[in-house]
Structure 1
Amino acid sequence: MEIRLLLLDVDGVLLHYQRPQRVMHLAHALQRSSAQVQAALFDSGLEIAYDAGELDTAAYLDQLSEALQTHVDATTWLAARVAACRPQLAVVQRLLAIDERLPLGVLTNNGPLMAQVLPILLPGLHNRLQPRVLCSGMLGGRKPDPALFKRALQRLDVEARHTLFVDDLFVNVRGARAAGLHAETVRDGRGLGKVLKRYAIL
């Protein structure tokens, strides 16, 4: 078994993400209540639609602006997303210790704007991930759909049997396995270390 690509989830693996913090930050920036932001972004299904590629970024921001009756631009959106995240440093350290000959990539359930968050929060690791940062919204689907993993591997030009995928949610791990990838659940640096040793990557 030769692993030629390590594919990583973002929220819950590379980053610790707090949705309530994001909602509060956006509410403060837009002078709206947290309840209004929660309803417009999440309860409405808008975020899921963007994650699934049903809307492009311009349409997504336009619909969010309309729902909140104020202008929401990408800069404001990014600031709120960044404020709600912090790097999982133990995970990042283990990844940076991997031989640079092994490519690292990302497959996250997010719209394309999320790709702009990674260089801000993970500047050192981001260079190792390029140009293999894939958001589900770019591929027209969401994990755990096995078809999404297959489209991702086509984009990355690597075979499933040579790919190891890690995610904090087992449902996504199961979807990856259904698509033929090696896949494991990882939530912290210790867990990642065990997986890397099991696959003889570290």
Structure 2
Amino acid sequence: MPPAIECLLLDFDGVLVRYARHLRVRHLAAGIGCSAAQVQAALFDSGLERAYDSGMATDAYLQQLGEALQTTISIAQWQAARIAACAPEAGVIERVARIARSLPIAILTNNGELMARTIPLLLPTLADALHGRILCSGALGGRKPDPAIFTRAVERLGACAERTLFVDDLFVNVRGARQAGLQAETATDSRAFGKVMKRYTLP
């Protein structure tokens, strides 16, 4: 039997929402009047998004993105494109909302710090439970699956690693969490998520 869980730590993209990068690219391109190929090149092919996920400052990130696209990118435009690319997993969110009534929940995501402001807009029913508990790799100075990121995350949350359950859609991240001493499992849809919660006797 695994130890009793005292904190539920969740990945965002792939667990709480289905993320479609092409929709984000298309939405931002339409909003600023350029091609999707230009946005793809500026945001992803250049390595800019990964740099932001790894700790680049938001102002510098938006400035560099705007310069590459020869325009100004506002936070609101960035958020609108990110939101357009996310489809909330209703079954998972409902289950997490039930769990949050009796257990602390948190998010650990490989994203820049703007996602900490954007996730509550996507998950309004969880916003109160997640207040101050959305941890982005950009603010932690590294990315999953580095075990050090999980250690920093549980320290930030004031949690105990061996009593924290982490759920991600990628096994490579689950492996990193386990190396850091967390309980960790993979789930890629609502059914799989429910099975994991049942295994750990969470409501």
TM-score normalised by the shorter chain: which range applies?
over 0.9
Matches within 5 A, 1:119-198: 119-198=120-199
Q: Percent identity?
A: 60
TM-score, normalising length: structure 1 = 0.97
The aligned residue for residue 31 of structure 1 is 33
Partner of 2:90: 89
User: Does the Cα contact within 8 Å between 2:110 and 2:138 map onto a contact in 1?
Assistant: yes
> Per-residue displacement from partner, 1:41-76 (whole Å, max 9, x unpaired)?
0000000010011x1100000110111111111111
SS in 1 for 2:99: coil
One-letter identity of the residue aligned with 1:110: N
- Aligned counterpart in structure 2 of residue 17 of structure 1, from 14, 19, 25: 19
Letter of the 2:80 counterpart: A
Letter in 2 for 1:143: K
Secondary structure of 1:105's aligned partner: strand
Letter in 2 for 1:118: I
> Is 1:3 paired with 2:5?
yes
The CA RMSD over aligned residues, in Å, is 0.9
Ranges in structure 1 where 5+ consecutive residues have no aligned partner: none
Shift of 1:99: 5.6
Unpaired runs of 5+ residues, structure 2, are none
| TM-score for both structures, normalised by structure 2 | 0.96
Structure 1 residue runs of 4 or more that deviate by more than 4 Å after TM superposition: none
The number of equivalent residue pairs is 201
Does the residue aligned with 2:128 lie in a helix, a strand or coil? helix
CA-CA distance at 1:142 after TM superposition: 0.5
